[in-house]
Structure 1
Amino acid sequence: MEKQVYIKKNNDKMELFSFEKLKHSLVSTGACKEAVETIVNSIQPDIYDGISSNEIYKKAFALLKKYNKISASRYSLKRALFDLGPTGYAFERLVGALLKEKGYKTRVSVILNGKCVTHEIDVLAEKGKNSYAIECKFHAKAKTTSNVKVPLYINSRFLDIQEQWNTNSNHQTHLKQGWLVTNTRFTKDAINYAKCVGLTLLSWDYPKNNGLKANIDTLALYPVTTLTTLKKKEKHQLIENDVILVKELINASEKMKNIGLSDLRIHRVLDEVKKLCYNNPTP
């Protein structure tokens, strides 16, 4: 019988640990049932009251990596998003790429005039006759959430831009809506306010079954920070060279050479890229 223990979450709150939840997160990576059972059984004796969720993740990741490196890459997605920092530019590029895959025309870091002041918009997206102003809030720590003050501020900026945009006859589209995207979570008040004013929210797990994780897995738009065949320094060197997505490495052999990767290492990286992005399990 599984013992009941309370673990410390990233927000410092204590929560009853669920072995079923751990199993589900491992299965969603494409790992086989046998490997999942072995990993869970190996971890179970090490779980104790007060252990951090991060410690459990590290144990599970290390074991999963031995069984299936591609599954380990998928399992590391949440941490990989934090590793995109310290600036928010790489995260903005990722959000822009997600929207592009969904049929939007996108531009990153766009300066727009408002009725009152000028604003820098992280991502401007266009689809059909409508445009959307998207603000990206990147956080380096999991415990940082976006409270109601954030959508309040973002919505006021959007309304300023919208009034100017939609009265300008030179614009071919209608600025329809503001969006707010974060790699962590929104508070309940933030979600309620956004629903009330018509601001679209996207976070790690919101909306349910259609958050960042679900979209990245479905579209296989993984950041380079998920890869197990690259060292941390190499990942950041690639980001500095504007290679943000794993898929972009297919045509980036020269950039990998420039940061010191041998032909053999490049071959191994590209092998992981192909398996991760083109043999992607449905979550």
Structure 2
Amino acid sequence: MNEQFEVIKSTGEKAPFSLKKLKASLKKSGASRQVVEHIVQTIANELYPEITTAEIHNRAFALLKKEQSTFASKYKLKKAIYELGPTGFPFERFVGQLLNYSGYTVEVGQIVQGFCVKHEIDILAENSDCFILVECKFHSDKTKKSNVKDPLYIHSRFSDVQKLWNGADDKKLLKEGWLVTNTRFTADALQYGSCAKLFLLGWNHPKDNALKDRIDRFGLYPITVSTLLTKREKDFLLSRDVVLCRQLLGDRFFLDHLGVSDTRKKKILEEMKMLCTLNNMQDAID
């Protein structure tokens, strides 16, 4: 197998093809070692100069889908997060569900009075100890990172709300401000977040506890990972605030509203159940 090929990343940059990274991403889909080796061998034999990571991902996805749809679904996780757009509101609901399953009571889209002005807050979350204020930054462009302007803005809003909030005697303290994005942060954004004590959660940050890790840990896959639901069906479910596979398992009557046949409904629900029970996930090739 030749690892000397250069691939074109989504940013347009060139990078050496990494056999190790491809194998790791395939393993995390839940596929067996034999399936992984077969797919790696197939893709390695098909490489050509300046192939894109998107082309490699699409080929791996197609090969995984032939083996089992749930492998393919998990492999496309990063793409599925982008499909929660373009408005970003389903992403806020999705982040809210991640917090809910992490032990928080969550309210989405709240108006909160600050010391100076009122603020529309994406997510206000409460646990047994305190409240946290969460703002979400959704990017439909996978090459776009959240730069330092985002944490600067969020931190100023958090500080204004916290100043008034923590002056009251009858409330739990508002202790943390969070900024959550579906992409990555620039170095300046990370530096400011660390200095200002603003928690930054991105696709690959912080290490081992990033957005992709949390999704995997709790098995909280968005419905957009499904290979069986059509785009129209996904859009319908998202418009009804059904953003997780496990939500659809609980609210399966929505499939009747969509006119899904009993045979197809059974296959969809089997896919949802498999996705909720498998505990590994795919990291994007780049």
TM-score range for the pair, normalised by the shorter chain length: over 0.9
Say whether residues 1:196 and 2:195 are aligned partners: yes
Query: Is residue 29–residue 75 contact of structure 2 (8 Å, CA) maintained in 1?
Result: yes
Query: Is residue 90–residue 244 contact of structure 1 (8 Å, CA) maintained in 2?
Result: yes
Say whether residues 1:57 and 2:38 are aligned partners: no
Which letter does structure 2 place at the counterpart of 1:106? V
Shift of 1:182: 0.4
Say whether residues 1:4 and 2:8 are aligned partners: no
Shift of 1:252: 2.1
Query: Is residue 203–residue 212 contact of structure 1 (8 Å, CA) maintained in 2?
Result: yes
Task: Name the structure 1 match of 2:275.
Answer: 276
Q: Please give the alpha-carbon distance, in whole angstroms, between the structure 1 residues aligned to 2:24 and 2:3.
A: 18
Query: Is residue 146–residue 190 contact of structure 1 (8 Å, CA) maintained in 2?
Result: yes
Q: Please give the alpha-carbon distance, in whole angstroms, between the structure 2 residues aligned to 1:277 and 1:127.
A: 24
1:179-206 deviations in whole A, cap 9, x for unaligned?
0000000011110110001000111111
Which letter does structure 2 place at the counterpart of 1:210? N
Query: Is residue 98–residue 215 contact of structure 2 (8 Å, CA) maintained in 1?
Result: yes
1:19-62 deviations in whole A, cap 9, x for unaligned?
11010000011100111111111111322232221111101100
Unpaired runs of 5+ residues, structure 2, are none
Q: Please give the alpha-carbon distance, in whole angstroms, between the structure 1 residues aligned to 2:276 and 2:177.
A: 30
Task: Name the structure 2 match of 1:14.
Answer: 14
Say whether residues 1:259 and 2:258 are aligned partners: yes
Shift of 1:129: 3.0
Unpaired runs of 5+ residues, structure 1, are none
Q: What secondary structure, in the 3-state scheme, does the structure 1 residue paired with 2:151 have?
A: helix
> With structure 2 as the length reference, what TM-score do the two structures score?
0.95
> With structure 1 as the length reference, what TM-score do the two structures score?
0.96
Query: Is residue 220–residue 277 contact of structure 1 (8 Å, CA) maintained in 2?
Result: yes
Q: Name whichever of 91-100 and 250-259 sits farther off.
A: 250-259
Shift of 1:118: 1.0
Which letter does structure 1 place at the counterpart of 2:279? N
Q: Please give the alpha-carbon distance, in whole angstroms, between the structure 2 residues aligned to 1:221 and 1:253.
A: 17
Task: Name the structure 2 match of 1:112.
Answer: 112
Shift of 1:224: 0.4
Task: Name the structure 1 match of 2:235.
Answer: 236
Shift of 1:282: 8.2
Q: Please give the alpha-carbon distance, in whole angstroms, between the structure 2 residues aligned to 1:224 and 1:121.
A: 25
Aligned residues: 282
Task: Name the structure 1 match of 2:216.
Answer: 217
Shift of 1:3: 3.6
Q: Please give the alpha-carbon distance, in whole angstroms, between the structure 2 residues aligned to 1:282 and 1:55.
A: 19
Task: Name the structure 2 match of 1:207.
Answer: 206
Q: What secondary structure, in the 3-state scheme, does the structure 2 residue paired with 1:74 have?
A: helix
Q: Please give the alpha-carbon distance, in whole angstroms, between the structure 1 residues aligned to 2:244 and 2:17.
A: 33
Task: Name the structure 1 match of 2:244.
Answer: 245
Q: Structure 2 matches for 1:60-99, cutoff 5 A?
A: 60-99=60-99
Q: What secondary structure, in the 3-state scheme, does the structure 1 residue paired with 2:103 have?
A: coil
Which letter does structure 2 place at the counterpart of 1:109? G
Q: What secondary structure, in the 3-state scheme, does the structure 2 residue paired with 1:15 have?
A: strand
The percentage of counterpart residues that share the same residue type is 46
1:95-143 deviations in whole A, cap 9, x for unaligned?
1111111111111111111111111111111122311110001111210
CA RMSD of aligned residues (A): 1.4
Q: Please give the alpha-carbon distance, in whole angstroms, between the structure 2 residues aligned to 1:257 and 1:217.
A: 29
Higher relative contact order (CA 8 A, sep 6+): 2
Q: Please give the alpha-carbon distance, in whole angstroms, between the structure 1 residues aligned to 2:93 and 2:246.
A: 13
Task: Name the structure 2 match of 1:146.
Answer: 146
1:237-259 deviations in whole A, cap 9, x for unaligned?
11112211100111222211112
Q: Please give the alpha-carbon distance, in whole angstroms, between the structure 2 residues aligned to 1:18 and 1:233.
A: 36
Q: What secondary structure, in the 3-state scheme, does the structure 2 residue paired with 1:109 have?
A: strand
Q: Please give the alpha-carbon distance, in whole angstroms, between the structure 1 residues aligned to 2:262 and 2:199.
A: 44
Q: Please give the alpha-carbon distance, in whole angstroms, between the structure 1 residues aligned to 2:252 and 2:193.
A: 43
Task: Name the structure 2 match of 1:40.
Answer: 40
Q: Please give the alpha-carbon distance, in whole angstroms, between the structure 2 residues aligned to 1:16 and 1:111.
A: 48
Which letter does structure 2 place at the counterpart of 1:154? I
Q: Please give the alpha-carbon distance, in whole angstroms, between the structure 1 residues aligned to 2:48 and 2:164.
A: 57
Shift of 1:6: 1.6
Query: Is residue 219–residue 278 contact of structure 2 (8 Å, CA) maintained in 1?
Result: no
Shift of 1:281: 4.3
Which letter does structure 2 place at the counterpart of 1:43? I
Q: What secondary structure, in the 3-state scheme, does the structure 1 residue paired with 2:99 have?
A: helix
Runs of 4+ in structure 1 off by over 4 angstroms are: none
